[in-house]
Amino acid sequence: MRIALFLVAVLTITGCVDMNSLIPEKGEPADKSFYLVDTKFRFICLGKTKNCQDMTKIVSSRSELKPIEEAYGKKVTGPNYPVTLARIIMYPEDGSYKAQPIGNEGRFFSIPVNERTNIVWETLNSIEQNLFNQGS
């Protein structure tokens, strides 16, 4: 939840994106038919919702990336692990899908909700839970 609030705050402060284009009107159902990849702040969000995962957290949890690496058949490598992860999920080597730009600033992309992208989502969620549980 903190991540989503951070993302909304950053986007609101920077003024780079019209928040109305990302978050649905009150009472309007949110489009959850895709994942939104923010290449600037390294977030992946469930469609047009505030439900987001922070890809930068993988730096301290690289040992937990095996499910993603197995699903995509590629290692997440350094020196910039979040950038490598974003590239892997946006442009899988088998060409089964390709990230589609949203807007014209080259920052936001949509990727489909499918078995592999769900593994990414679940793995990032698990990493976040493990990081917070370790701090408790």
pTM listed for this prediction: 0.76
Has residue 131 been placed in a domain?
no
Has residue 108 been placed in a domain?
yes
Domain extent at residue 118: 2-126
Q: Kindly report each contact of residues 5-11 with a partner whose C-beta sits within 8 Å and lies 24 or more positions away, as own/partner.
A: 5/50, 7/38, 7/41, 7/43, 7/45, 7/50, 7/52, 8/50, 10/41
Has residue 41 been placed in a domain?
yes
Has residue 15 been placed in a domain?
yes
Can you say whether the dihedral through the CA atoms of 71, 73, 74, 75 is positive or negative? positive
Question: What is the percent of the chain with per-residue pLDDT over 90, rounded to a whole number?
Answer: 68
What does the pLDDT look like over 42-63, one tens digit per residue?
A: 999 999 999 999 999 999 899 9
Has residue 133 been placed in a domain?
no
Domain count, the chain: 1
Q: Structure tokens of 87?
A: 């590239």
Residue 134: its pLDDT value, please? 65
Q: Determine contact, residues 23/45, Cβ cutoff 8 Å.
A: no
Has residue 52 been placed in a domain?
yes
Has residue 135 been placed in a domain?
no
What's the rounded Cα separation, in Å, for the pair 79 and 71?
21
Has residue 136 been placed in a domain?
no
